[in-house]
Amino acid sequence: MNHFQLKDGVLHADEIPLPRLAEAYGTPLFVYSTATLKRHWKVLDRSLKGLKHLVCYAIKANSNLAILRTFAELGSGFDIVSGGELYRVLQAGGQAKKVVYSGVGKRDDEIAFALEAGVKVLDVESAAELARVSIVARRLGKRAPIALRVNPAVDPKTHPYIATGLKESKFGVSMEDALRLYTLAARDPALEVKGVALHIGSQITETGPFTEAIRRTLELVGALRGQGIRIGHFDVGGGLGIQYRDEAPPHPDEYGAAVKQALASFDGEVLLEPGRVLVGNAGVLVTQVLYTKRNGRRNFVVVDAAMTDLVRPAFYGAHHEIEPVVPVEDAKPVVADVVGPVCESSDFLGKKRALPPLEPGDLLCVRSAGAYGFAMSSNYNTRTRAAEVLVEGDEALLARRRETLQDLVRGESPSPRPRRFTKRAVRVESQSRAPRRRKA
């Protein structure tokens, strides 16, 4: 369900025609529907009714401050993977005590930031990271709340780039290692075991992989409790898919029922880390036709959006529905590739799409662009990043202004001042990384 619908022959975002937004804010333009965001969060939260639970939005999907504030006002927690994302949560009014800090490579300063802010838990993904968290906590005179992210070795049946629960994945620790590391953590006065976490992948379209991962992880929880190690919360991760084209993911109510049944024997708090399912279909990318052309047997529609705005088609081979903002009645469709201005053959938004004849200035709507759209955008080819607009009813909020050319060179200098490093300074730096050997 989303609130991007045809009204009087024109695509609208809530109550506002998309052409009006394009005229006011330019293109390319990301448009998000507040009504859709709120509905998706409430439906998913409702699906776990009866369990003590906390929905923690995975902000890597879309970290715009206005979206974060929308979820914070609903009572949402947040799943983060960097110190920068924690900063965003706090700037948007989110509560640190509702933050789960995931991620396989946390720096010392990020760990310290999280502990000083008072996050709910740090999900630890290796023995080396567990040691670093302990060291930083001791340095700060704090006790770090931790959970281990376990790797249940379950195939989520999704794109290999977004499958994170397999044995060959860089994420998490094996069940065997988890038992040993939990024992070490329970004995460390600088650490406080809070729970267990898992996350097997993204864009998963059936409940089986979720319930199998939960079942395997519950075996670990039972073994830990047998050793006197209490597990206060169970983080089932995220990954519930959405419909881009012909996928048929389970409804959140079906997903929630499966999770509740799988965790019937668990008496602690349940954490959930949805990302794409909350924001994916709550956003679209509006782009303007620049030219149409034909090369050989191939037709092309050249638009002002590019892989720098929406990289998923180039990166994953992902499909996004593309349609005219103002549909043309009774027009014979033309099969064409929708491509951008970037100097890469992989710069396309869609291939072999049946579209009505288009003219320069016409607007196209790229659907399902709310997740991993702007969040993965870049300045490649020295392109400015798009504006983002949040719509609620008949009102629009400019949630992020379009970048300017000046923004593109901020922090750079054509004549940088040199910095001289003395031999002693270089030697001190090298010693900080590798202790000098003592002479025998």
Over the stretch 327-383, which tens digit does the pLDDT of each residue have?
A: 988 889 999 999 999 999 999 999 999 999 999 999 999 999 999 999 999 999 999
Res 167: pLDDT = 55
Asked if the bond preceding 156 is cis, omega within 30° of 0, the reply is no
The more confident residue out of 244 and 291 is: 291
Question: What is d(CA 218, CA 152) in angstroms, rounded to the nearest whole number?
Answer: 10
Q: Over the stretch 8-45, which tens digit does the pLDDT of each residue have?
A: 999 999 999 999 999 999 999 999 999 999 999 999 99
Does the pTM of the predicted model rise above 0.85?
Answer: yes
- Token match 């081979």: residue? 317
User: 166 or 334, which is more confident?
Assistant: 334
* Closest alpha carbon to 338 in 306, 312, 305, 300: 300
Q: Enumerate the known binding-site residues for pyridoxal 5'-phosphate.
A: 239, 273-276, 372
**Is pLDDT at 56 greater than 60 in this prediction?**
yes
Q: Nearest-CA neighbor of 29 among 38, 18, 39, 37?
A: 18
Task: Give residue 161's pLDDT.
Answer: 42
Query: Is the distance from CB of 278 to CB of 44 less than 8 angstroms?
Result: yes
**Catalytic residue numbers?**
343
**Element housing 246 (H / E):** none
Judge contact between 380 and 342, C-beta under 8 A.
Answer: yes
pLDDT surpasses 70 at 425? no
| Residue type, position 172, single letter | G
Give the 3-state secondary structure of residue 433. helix
Asked whether the predicted pLDDT for residue 437 surpasses 60, the reply is: no
Taking a C-beta distance cutoff of 8 angstroms, is the pair 18, 272 a contact?
no
Share of the chain above pLDDT 70, in %: 92
**What's the pLDDT band for 206 if we cut at 50, 70, 90?**
confident
- 4 forms beta bridges with 13
Residues 6+ apart with CB under 8 A from 152: 165, 175, 198, 200, 212, 213, 216, 217
Q: What is the pLDDT of residues 57-89, one digit of tens each?
A: 999 999 999 999 999 999 999 999 999 999 999
Is pLDDT at 438 greater than 70 in this prediction? no
Partners of 298 in the β-ladder: 295
Q: Take residue 4 and report the two structure tokens written for it.
A: 């991007």
Q: Which contiguous run of DSSP H or E holds residue 30?
A: strand 29-33
Burial class (CB in 10 A: 0-12, 13-18, 19+), 208: middle
Average pLDDT estimate for 271-298: 96
3-state SS, residue 407: helix
pLDDT digits (tens, 9 = 90+) for 303-329: 999 999 999 999 989 999 999 999 988
- Residue 160 in this model has a pLDDT that exceeds 60: no
Per-residue pLDDT for 168 more than 90? no
Mean pLDDT of the 280-293 span: 97
What is the pLDDT at residue 22?
Answer: 98
Give the Cα separation of 169 and 175 in Å (integer). Answer: 14
Whether pLDDT at 46 is above 90: yes
pLDDT the model gives residue 439: 46
For residue range 89-127, what is the model confidence (pLDDT) as tens digits? 999 999 999 999 999 999 999 999 999 999 999 999 999
* Those residues with Cβ within 8 angstroms of residue 145's Cβ, 6 or more apart along the chain or in another chain: 119, 120, 121, 122, 192, 194
Q: What is the DSSP letter of 233?
A: E
Report the length, in residues, of the chain.
440
The per-residue pLDDT of the chain, averaged, comes to 91
40, 50 contact by CB (below 8 A): no
Annotated binding residues for substrate:
276, 312, 316, 344, 372
Dihedral of CA atoms 341, 342, 344, 347 in degrees, nearest 10, equals: -70
* Residues contacting 80, CB < 8 A, separation 6+: 59, 60, 86, 89, 99, 100, 101, 102, 103
The pLDDT score that the predictor gives to residue 155 is 63
Amino acid in the structure at residue 138: R
Predicted pLDDT at 159: 43
Residue ranges and CATH numbers for the domains of the chain are 4-14+21-27+281-409 (2.40.37.10), 34-278 (3.20.20.10)
